[in-house]
Structure 1
């Protein structure tokens, strides 16, 4: 008893819950929870349910859960899509959200429905295991892996190898905090590499007069209240070394990461305290010798967005990128997309980490017919719009942490902005409900992050504003403006702000460069927010 008390002293509640029982063991409790209901859950049970992708949603007293399906690399067969659509109809009020890690999420899930839901998912070859919790989360892979005309390496096999290694692996089921992994073999940084705990990005070296392709390694990225872009290590990793390197970084995090405070537990804090040299030395002590870095292969950052019909690297085949506004769709829409993928594509869909969907494997011979499909024709009005470029989090509608509602608010805001600027300004607007920054506002041209503001003695929903974020080249975080904009004034404020950009930018000048060059927007938003 005294030994257990000593173990838990100074640890937060989540760490204590993990000492009581490994998060993976919650699988064995699902049938009992379904029978006994939410009132029988202990705080430790609620914490451990994250390991099967379950979060208690707002309002907590109603006993509804969000359930996240883990889709490594975003790959989904049409049969699996139909199973997901069926579960959404039966248990999730016909709704689905796409996340920034390829996953799909249901809301309104009750514990009593879990045996049937998990049974259907398992039969379809799908899982929710480790879609959340203090463990390696879903692996983000270039959404075009294997079909990307620009890729120098197909990252799909290595993304799958990472998934297979970490999935249900008890050596890594109790980390200090979540652990995010991403990999791409293409130059356009669709994986938002700088935001992950570890990312593998394409690189090259010359050996005996030949070009050798591999990866550079970035570590220690993450946003939330203390945003930080990942640091690139001076290492060149061969494809067959990827799993070993990721395992070593995860082991360093497990063995040396901080467990006292939840808001100071991500890998970035350990990296900052150790420094890059010590971290690299510890990594090499676990992996053995690795080659020094080569030349990173970079191109224009695309934000993970792929709209319209484009050729694949396979001659005669194309993929279709579909914008899913605010990352939210219905079960019926997912089923319709599955039908399109069967009739025109290779029978698969791909969710993207930018909350959209791709249909790959479209033969050139059927393109004309595909373009006449009503759903495809409806996409034309979205091309180049701010609505199509936006990213949003779940928001106050369901998330207990969020301060403002995001999905409906963002849809209204973006519609107003697109109407005000029919010339289609090239802008990315991200809307996050709270400081956790799940919608990645710090890398957007304009990031809105939920907060509250006092107006005439009344607390009102508002947003902090970030300007000029980008992952172009090595990336730069947006600058947070001092003031706060009430939600009901956001549209008017952004119309005024974007009018300055439209009227005073240089030809082809990106928004971030305009902000940096002029400083006008900082001053304007500060003034308007008073």
Structure 2
């Protein structure tokens, strides 16, 4: 939806009527206007845990109430996964119960990407014992298991919670995981450590019934890194480290970002917030979403639509006047990062003289045994802290300088390289058709194959390029803001057969110059053609680029013939 903040306001009567049917609680519209809203009104999603522990885990999958199965269980990180053997062409035509397998994806929320080696080892053990070894790292710093049986969920919770981990509100219409800089508190170039804010936000909102019935999901990011390493531009609310000329280090506030089928870059409120006030402002923004968010249509129930209608000036005024009851200080925008990579891969010196080592799993896919080995390696090299990133990567913190090389070698032996190729470093993929009920095509295996092919074909290519594969239009893998974004769909091949393929988005980016990728008219590529197509485009870029010209800049000016 276009930003209407600069358009003249319509007459008051028309404006009042415009949102009469949007289901906003603040307007007195408490009658549920769709099935999802009715389910939430019937019973808070947080309450389903008791039924899981006392009924469903004992009586099995067949005993689960439908509203719990496809609704409230998400409040505890549980989604039914896709039944094996269902083709992408059936995704949109089958009923939910036809797509459901009798197993679950279970998402572990990892706020700030922060893990101890003990926690990582427990995740690895749960993966091996209950999830057939699965343990994917997401681009929101979480870990996802698959093949989870409802009978095992209480024991999994017991083990996770025993080391301070949780699946509470990892999914559902709730405050999702709080993204944070994976180098918070240790980076030599850090503007401000956002860790206390992440912890206080978590304490206030996660599992709190006051915020457990939002119009839809609500995504938060906090980072004091100059690399802007939490994709703040596409979160519902984000706090970005800046230095105020009078007040010193604090945070710039962004609201209303999001992707999916109607992408929107978040906007600045122009407000500077000190560390101790971040949780207050966060609570105010999530409360605005709860009270004023649109609840009539699910596809308009994100904060970005409210922000588009209100504009940042009105949003800030409502936040200050009705929720904070005080004025916020005006403040500066964050500076553009000097590096395109924001994943912290490689060896870097910490503030304390130790080092952190960032490494790249293939498209976020790991397994429980590997996670346990990472924990062992970290501890053997003097570390008890690891981190996940917003780019499906991992870090080991606190490594003494004389043990860095040994750690890097140990990681390499696990196919976890701290010196990845451009393609290994820059390729991300969502879950895809293997497990996801919304997916149309396969992604994880194809992404790994694509990395191998491009490394073989373009061994000398060294320009930063991101390649994001998504199994459906919903953009869990952020296709619109990748250099090369691949949106899964069925396409017709040369012989006239329907096969898996991708719509291509070119030249999207975050950070330096945030914007959405260019769609080339009529360009769709079959899965088998991907390496040929990407090789052709990257060779054209390498031949035509000016000195220092990024792929996104080139793609914006390139002839369509060079992009096909």
Normalising by the residue count of structure 1, what TM-score does the alignment of the two structures yield? 0.93
Q: Structure 1 residues 478-487 or 376-385, which shifts more?
A: 376-385
Check whether the contact 2:32–2:41 (CA below 8 A) recurs between aligned residues: no
> Which residue does the alignment assign to 2:145?
106
1:318 aligned residue: 355
Q: What are the residue-to-residue correspondences of 1:36-75 with 2, within 5 Å?
A: 36-46=59-69, 47-59=71-83, 60-75=99-114
For 1:171 and 1:481, locate their aligned partners in 2 and report how far apart those are by CA, in whole Å: 45
Unaligned runs of 5+ in 1: 1-5
Q: Which residue of 2 aligns with 1:21?
A: 43
**How far did 1:10 drift?**
6.1
- Residue 154 in 1 paired to residue 193 in 2? yes
Number of equivalent positions: 515
3-state SS of 1:464 partner: strand
Partner of 1:418: 455
Q: 1:96-175 alignment to 2 at 5 Å?
A: 96-175=135-214
1:303 touches 1:354 (CA, 8 Å); kept in 2? no
Shift in CA distance, 352/371, structure 1 to aligned 2, threshold 3 Å: closer
Say which SS state the counterpart of residue 465 (structure 1) adopts. strand
Question: Which residue number in structure 1 is paired with residue 479 of structure 2?
Answer: 441
Shift in CA distance, 368/500, structure 1 to aligned 2, threshold 3 Å: closer
Aligned residue number for residue 11 of structure 1? 33
State the partner residue of 2:265. 229
Q: Distance in 2 between matches of 1:369 and 1:296?
A: 37
Corresponding residue SS for 2:240: strand
What are the equivalent positions in structure 2 for 1:318-467 lying under 5 Å apart? 318-373=355-410, 375=412, 379=416, 383-425=420-462, 426-455=464-493, 456-467=495-506
User: Is the contact made by 1:370 and 1:376 (CA closer than 8 Å) also made in structure 2?
Assistant: no
SS in structure 1 at match of 2:192: coil
Instruction: Give the aligned partner of residue 501 of structure 1.
Output: 541
> C-alpha separation between the residues in 1 aligned to 2:502 and 2:270?
39
1:242 aligns with 2:278: yes
Deviations 1:403-449 (A, max 9, x none): 11100011111211121111133211000111110000111110001
- Residue 473 of structure 1 deviates from its aligned partner by 3.1
Note the C-alpha offset of 1:61: 4.2
Specify whether residues 216 and 170 from structure 1 end up closer, same or farther in structure 2 by C-alpha distance, changes over 3 A only: same
Classify 1:87/1:523 alpha carbon distance in 2 versus 1 (closer, same or farther; 3 Å). Answer: same
Distance in 2 separating the partners of 1:18 and 1:160: 27
- The within-5 A match list for 1:204-353 is 204-207=243-246, 212-285=248-321, 286-287=323-324, 288-315=326-353, 317-353=354-390
SS of alignment partner, residue 180 of structure 1: strand
SS at match of 2:553: helix
- Deviation of 1:368 (Å): 4.2
TM-score, length basis structure 2 = 0.88
CA deviation after TM superposition for structure 1 residue 343, in Å: 1.4
C-alpha contact 2:346 2:419 (8 A) present in aligned 1? no
Give 1:472 shift.
Answer: 2.9
Q: Residues 449-472 of structure 1, C-alpha deviation per residue, up to 9 Å, x if partnerless?
A: 111123455322111111111113
3-state SS of 1:15 partner: helix
Whole-Å Cα distance in 2 between the matches of residues 97 and 374 of structure 1?
Answer: 17
TM-align CA RMSD: 1.9
Contact 1:88 1:96 in 2 (8 A): yes
Counterpart-to-counterpart distance in 2, 1:193 and 1:8: 32
Q: What stretches of structure 2 of length at least 5 have no aligned partner?
A: 1-27, 84-98
Q: In structure 1, how many angstroms separate the alpha carbons of the residues matched to 2:176 and 2:519? A: 28
User: Which residue number in structure 2 is paired with residue 3 of structure 1?
Assistant: none
Change (3 A) 1:279 1:295: closer
In the aligned structure 2, how far is the partner of 1:190 from the partner of 1:62?
Answer: 36
Task: Pick the aligned partner of 2:507 from 468, 479, 484.
Answer: 468
The residue that corresponds to 1:487 in the other structure is 527
In the TM superposition, residue 389 of structure 1 has moved relative to its aligned partner by 1.6
Look up the SS of the partner of 1:329 in the other structure: coil
Q: Secondary structure at the match of 1:11?
A: coil
| Structure 1 position 391, deviation (Å) | 1.2
CA offset digits 1:84-134 (Å, max 9, x no partner): 111111111112100111110100001011121111112122110011110
Q: What CA deviation, in whole Å up to 9, does each residue of 1:47-74 have, x standing for no partner?
A: 1000000000001443110000011111
